[in-house]
């Protein structure tokens, strides 16, 4: 991301927070010269992962025994509601 020095001056704390939270460097341009703001410690990419309920983690052998969508049961229930 590249911004002007004027924009940096007006949004300094927001820009620094973004660099820290996202780990993405910001380039600042002033009179044709560029400088870069980067976090000292790189952000761990695994920290960005979001917990997803219902995702199987662990023994792949359990995958064969996992509950799946029963279309016949769903259609029977849906047909009752339509009547």
Query: Mean pLDDT, consecutive 10-residue segments, the chain of 83 residues?
Result: 91 93 90 93 79 78 78 87 77
Q: Are 70 and 76 in contact (CB under 8 A)?
A: no
Q: Residue 17 maps to which CATH number?
A: 3.40.1620
pLDDT at 56: 67
pLDDT at 78: 87
Residue 8 lies in a domain: yes
- Residue 53: how many CB atoms within 10 A of its CB? 4
Query: What is the reported pTM?
Result: 0.51
CA distance 35 to 3: 10
- Residue 75: how many CB atoms within 10 A of its CB? 10
Residue 20 lies in a domain: yes
- Residue 28: how many CB atoms within 10 A of its CB? 19
Residue 26 lies in a domain: yes
Q: How many domains is the chain built from? A: 1
* Domain range enclosing 15: 2-37
pLDDT at 15: 94
Residue 57 lies in a domain: no
Residue 32 lies in a domain: yes
């Amino acid at each position: 991301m590249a911004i002007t020095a004027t924009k940096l001056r007006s949004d300094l704390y927001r820009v620094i927070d973004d660099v820290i939270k996202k780990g993405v460097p910001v380039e600042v341009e002033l009179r044709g010269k560029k400088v870069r703001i980067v976090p000292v410690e790189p952000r761990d990419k695994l920290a960005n992962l979001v917990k997803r309920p219902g995702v199987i983690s662990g023994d792949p052998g359990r995958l064969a025994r996992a509950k799946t969508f029963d279309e016949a049961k769903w259609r029977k229930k849906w047909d009752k509601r339509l009547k």
